[in-house]
A and B are shown apart, each in its own frame.
Chain A
Amino acid sequence: MHRREGLAKLTGRERYVDDLPLDDFLWGATVRSPAPRGRVAAVRFGKGVDWSQFVVVDSQDLPGPNEILLIERDQPVLAAGYVRHVHEPVLLLAHRDRVALRRAALAVTIDVAAEPAALDFRVPPRPDQIQYGADNVLKHLRIEKGDVERALATAPVVVEGVYETGAQEHVYLEPQGMIAQMDGDVLVVRGSMQCPYYVVKALTHALNRDEQHVRVVQTPTGGGFGGKEEYPSTIALHAALLALKSGRPVKLVYDRAEDMAATTKRHPARVRHRTGVTRDGKLVAQDIEVVMDGGAYVTLSPVVLSRGIIHAAGPYACEHVRIAGRAMFTNAVPFGAFRGFGAPQTHFAGERHMDVVAHRLGIDPAELRRRNLLRDGERTATGQVVNDGTDRVAVLERALAMADYDKKRAANKAGGATRRGIGIATFHHGAGFTGSGEVMLSSRVDVAGLPDGRIEVLSANIEMGQGTITVFTALAAARLGLTPDDVVVAEADTARVPNSGPTVASRTSMVVGRLVERACDDLRRRVNTGGRGDGEGLKRAIMDWHRAHPGGRLVGSATYERPPGIAWDDHTYTGDAYGAFAWAAYVAEVEVDLRTYATRVTDFVAVQEIGKVLHETFARGQVQGGVAQGIGWALLEDCKWQDGAMANAQLTNYLIPTTEDLPPIRVAFLENPYAYGAQGAKGLGELPIDGPAPAVLNAVADALGVEPTMIPLTPEKLMAIADLGLRNADSNNP
């Protein structure tokens, strides 16, 4: 089956939030803090603007608590006299004319009495920079297994390393936006988002409304990658406040510059490794410290840190592991959800470090991984026994064979103006919410039988390009023997669909798709088909039911159930962190130009075991897109900071890969069905962002004989270390 909404997208007929027809509405705009920290001394409305023509909203206009409800309640909807980061929303304006609105927004001046800002998460804060708890630590987390100190003390070789990753901007091609308007006494908010019920929760709390008086509708969403997980709640609240005050529909759509400057990015991180290893390369101890920059409010940092540390030890067996993580408060725009959710940072460090260990021991990096990859029956850092039957070494061997690794490893590093190298990364990604998260979400999906015999899948999980509509259609059709034309997938409208949880964490196909299947089963039971359980027989049974129950609603339903044998302890951070892991091995080949220090990826192989491929084209597209994003993060995407603000908030100087920056990305899948995923599927969406950065940097290390530790590895950064490496190579080889 091809993408169901594909032709509408290709012909430009698909309507995103900025495309929706809207009558008699106002445009909204946000006036933001110019400073990273301080008291708002004055808000001055400039001369030359007739302010009586504008709707103006500030923190005084909130009907409820001035809090964006997420994990904590520390983030205000609008700053109330004090700002903690540049671009923090202070004031909202609305007007019918967009140009006049822009001029007016520029005519507002916000005077901030500046106070000392904490702008570097890597250094301990001075007393006058402390703004959260006693030490600016937003969250501490720790994983302990065995006795790391003793194991390190007796390890034959100990290898240390420090690795840093930069912020990354999502660059979904559709900037964020919302429309808010009243429908009778119901506040209706439509827009680009991943999590309609997060928006409901935020609106009901801060606007002091009950759920019956709030309706949230997801509009076709032009990419998300996590960037539309938590931030849309803020825009929804702002649009709603303007709509409530003006009594008119309000459209609040960010342009690219505002979107890049003011919304979330991937958490910058610094990860320190101290690894004990035997001389033949067996890991005996991993001591890992993970520090992330959370920015000015808690937002999702505790759970990003959690996923980060859980993946930090890699897909390896090691008896003694200690992982200490902390997320730091800084006066930066809050960092947030981004595909991979903390794991790409820790996998970058871990996989780059594996090559440093291999170089130290004189063992080929592939061989080092063969000797340490988890075998069935062995335990991860949290003590989760891996027993899924996947041969993780076979995943690696497949990737090495496709990339012709051995031959290229031996033959690379040609002289002249370029050097070639090849690098690998082996990694894993847990799908679904961590630990008890899925149990707490308690997601529900409905499948309705319609009077004409078709069925309708009702869930809050949204389409943002990854293929939800098509995959849910295919799952339901296959489950009930129907054709795709017999299946309707409902718009994610909270007035109609149950809360099946957020569209995040690679959970939609695996977890929610499984609920779609079970809701189909429930529907079949309810129509009591008596031997007409599939296809046309089922359609007739649905029609018969409606004839017998005129006006009735025929709904099959399923609620999440924890797979048996899964246990997690949130206090000790031990147990089964995820129901299933996907496993992968990626190989990158690079060419480094010694005149420009530009690194070019010339070949990329991505092999992964994902349970079951639900849609070959979509699965390949997820991997290729994730790899492209990972290569961008590794080499190009450089957020430049100036006093806590992004100085290059435009696509002219924040570069993402084009067709010319990427090689064809060669993809292969291995399948080992997971009993509790839809048709055996495991989560896929995030996995492919975890591997490219370390694979590419390992290839650069192979090409030049240096150990780069930081991404993005821009030509400027590579120049600084490459000259040193090349001089060393020359002196060793006169």
Chain B
Amino acid sequence: MSDKSAIRVSFTLNGAPATVEIDPADRLLDVLRERLGLTGAKEGCGEGECGACTVWLDGLPVNSCLVPGYQVRGARVHTVESLDPSALEPLLVHGATQCGACTPGVAMTACWIVGHPEILASHSLRELLAGNLCRCTGYDGIVAGVQAALDAGARA
């Protein structure tokens, strides 16, 4: 921390209580990566365009590069580290990941959609995934993987 202005923030991180000293200028992405060592969320652009830093804030996907760190006080934050690896199998099988830099963000959006299939009544999968930029796959592998995960969820 560069000065004495550190502030203390307590929140629920991946289901467990967390308390951390942060700089008022820290973004949630910095809090996770630099203060807490959770490097799953990636900084792809730092301005909310690419979605590589996607986490869930109180159950909704957000770009953690756009959330001031102090704003998560008392909130629930879930990161890619909280996901059940077995739920990600369909993404692996369908080639949803190549270089992997966008992947944690894609995984967070994908798992959120799978957990809220009712949203597909009003939005297409492609529309829901448009906030996650990928430069490797052309998106077909991602769309197929999420669809397969939805299908598996519907059968379960």
Q: Are B98 and A650 in contact, CB atoms less than 8 angstroms apart?
A: no
Contact with A along B127-143 (1 / 0, CB 8 A): 10111111111111111
The stretch among B68-76, B83-91, B113-121 that forms the contact with chain A is B83-91
Inter-chain contact B101/A222, CB cutoff 8 Å: yes
Question: Would A7 and B98 count as touching, CB distance under 8 A?
Answer: no
Contact B103 A658 (CB under 8 A): no
Q: Does B39 contact A (CB under 8 A)?
A: yes
Report which of A97, A466, A620 forms a contact with B2, defined as CB distance below 8 A.
Answer: A97
A519 to B95, CA, bound (A): 29
Instruction: Tell me if A10 and B103 are in contact (CB < 8 A).
Output: yes
* Interchain CB contact (< 8 A) of B101 among A170, A173, A652: A173
* Chain B residues positioned under 8 Å from A658 (CB to CB): 129-131, 133, 139
Please tell me if the beta carbons of A13 and B44 are within 8 angstroms of each other in the complex.
no
Interface size in chain A (residues, C-beta < 8 A): 60
Question: Do the beta carbons of B135 and A223 come within 8 Å of each other?
Answer: yes
Residues on the B chain within 8 Å of A6, using CB: 92, 97
User: Residue of B at shortest CB range from A225?
Assistant: B135
Neighbouring B residues of A175 by C-beta, 8 Å: 43-44
Of the candidates A12, A620, A659, the one whose C-beta lies within 8 Å of that of B39 is A12
How many Å lie between the Cα of A221 and that of B136 in the bound state? Answer: 12
Least CB distance from A635 to B in Å reads 14
Interface residues of A in 310-337 (CB under 8 A from B): none
Contact indicator A625/B137 (Cβ below 8 Å): yes
Restricting to A156-174, which residues have a CB under 8 Å from any CB of B?
Answer: 170-174
Tell whether A651 pairs with B40 under 8 Å between CB atoms, given A222-B101, A621-B95, A625-B136: no
Are B135 and A625 neighbours in the complex by a CB distance under 8 Å? yes
CB < 8 Å neighbour of B93 from A2, A5, A465, A665: A2
Measured between beta carbons, the chain B residues less than 8 angstroms from A2 are: 92-93
B-binding segment of A14-22, A348-356, A572-580, A668-676 = A14-22
Establish whether residues A13 and B40, one from each chain, have CB atoms under 8 Å apart when the complex forms: yes
Checking A5, A8, A627 against B138 with a beta-carbon cut-off of 8 angstroms, the contacting residue is A627
Among A3, A9, A15, A16, max chain B CB count under 10 A is at A9
- A-contact bits for B38-63, CB 8 A (1 contact / 0 none): 11111111110110100000000000
User: Is A154 positioned at the interface, with any CB of B under 8 Å from its CB?
Assistant: no
> Which A residues are CB-close (under 8 A) to B81?
11-12
Write the nearest CB–CB distance from B80 to chain A, whole angstroms. 4
Q: In terms of DSSP, what is the predominant structure of the interface of chain A?
A: loop
> CB < 8 Å: which of A21, A256, A618, A664 contacts B45?
A256
Which residues of B have CB within 8 Å of A620?
Answer: 95, 140-141
Who on chain B is nearest to A626 by CB? Answer: B138
Known: A2-B92, A99-B25. A651 touches B135 (CB 8 A): no
**Which residue on A lies nearest to B50, using beta carbons?**
A651
Q: Is B154 an interface residue (CB 8 A)?
A: no
Which B residues lie within 8 Å of A19 (CB)? 33, 39
A117 to chain B, nearest CB (A): 30
Q: Is A464 an interface residue (CB 8 A)?
A: yes
B99 close to chain A: CB less than 8 A: yes
CB pair A12–B40 under 8 Å, yes or no, is yes
Q: Is A490 an interface residue (CB 8 A)?
A: no
Q: Tell me whether A15 and B39 are in contact (CB under 8 A).
A: yes
Across the two chains, which residue of chain B brings its CB closest to A19?
B39
Find out whether the CB atom of A223 lies under 8 angstroms from the CB atom of B101.
yes
A residues less than 8 Å from B132 (CB atoms)? 659
Whether A624 and B92, one on each chain, are in contact in the complex, defined by CB atoms closer than 8 angstroms, is no
- B97 touching A9, Cβ below 8 Å: yes
For residue A128, CB closer than 8 A to chain B, the reply is no
Say how far B67's CB is from chain A's closest CB, in angstroms: 18
Contact B133–A651 (Cβ < 8 Å): yes
Q: In the bound complex, how far is the Cα of B125 from the Cα of A158, in angstroms?
A: 49
Candidate in A21, A170, A255 with the most chain B CB atoms within 10 angstroms: A255
Which B residues touch A3, using CB under 8 A? Answer: 92, 95, 97-98
Set B99, B107, B129: member contacting A173, Cβ < 8 A? B99
Structural contact, B139 and A172, CB atoms closer than 8 A? no
Contact with B along A430-468 (1 / 0, CB 8 A): 000000000000000000000000000000000011110
Partner of A174, one of B23, B79, B99, B140: B99
Does A113 reach chain B (CB closer than 8 Å)?
no
Which single member of B42, B44, B136, B139 contacts A465 (CB below 8 Å)?
B136
Q: How far is the CA of A387 from the CA of B154 in the complex (A)?
A: 52
For residue B37, which residues in chain A have a CB less than 8 angstroms away from its CB? 21
- Among A15, A225, A665, contact of B140 (Cβ-Cβ < 8 Å): A665
The answer, yes or no, to whether B94 is at the interface (CB within 8 Å) is yes
Knowing A11-B85, A172-B99, A621-B95, the reply to whether A650 touches B47 (Cβ < 8 A) is yes
Min distance, Cβ B21 to any Cβ of chain A, angstroms? 15
| A213–B42 alpha-carbon span in the complex (Å) | 33
Chain B nearest CB: distance from A297 CB in Å? 26
Nearest A residue (CB) for B110: A10
Q: Assess whether A598 is interfacial by the CB under 8 Å rule.
A: no
On whether the beta carbons of A11 and B107 are closer than 8 Å, the reply is yes
How far apart are A545's CB and chain B's nearest CB, in angstroms? 36
Instruction: Please tell me if the beta carbons of B93 and A174 are within 8 angstroms of each other in the complex.
Output: no
CB-CB < 8 A to A10: which residues of B? 83, 85, 88, 91-92, 96-97, 100, 103-104, 107
Residues in A with CB closer than 8 Å to B97 are 3, 6, 9-10
Q: Which 9 A-B pairs have the closest CB atoms?
A: A12-B40, A222-B101, A465-B99, A9-B100, A624-B138, A465-B98, A173-B101, A628-B138, A19-B39
A: which residues have CB within 8 A of B?
2-3, 5-16, 18-19, 21, 97, 99-100, 170-175, 220-225, 255-257, 464-467, 617-618, 620-621, 623-629, 650-652, 656, 658-660, 662, 664-665
6 A-B interface contacts by CB (under 8 A): A9-B103, A223-B99, A465-B100, A617-B95, A624-B137, A628-B137
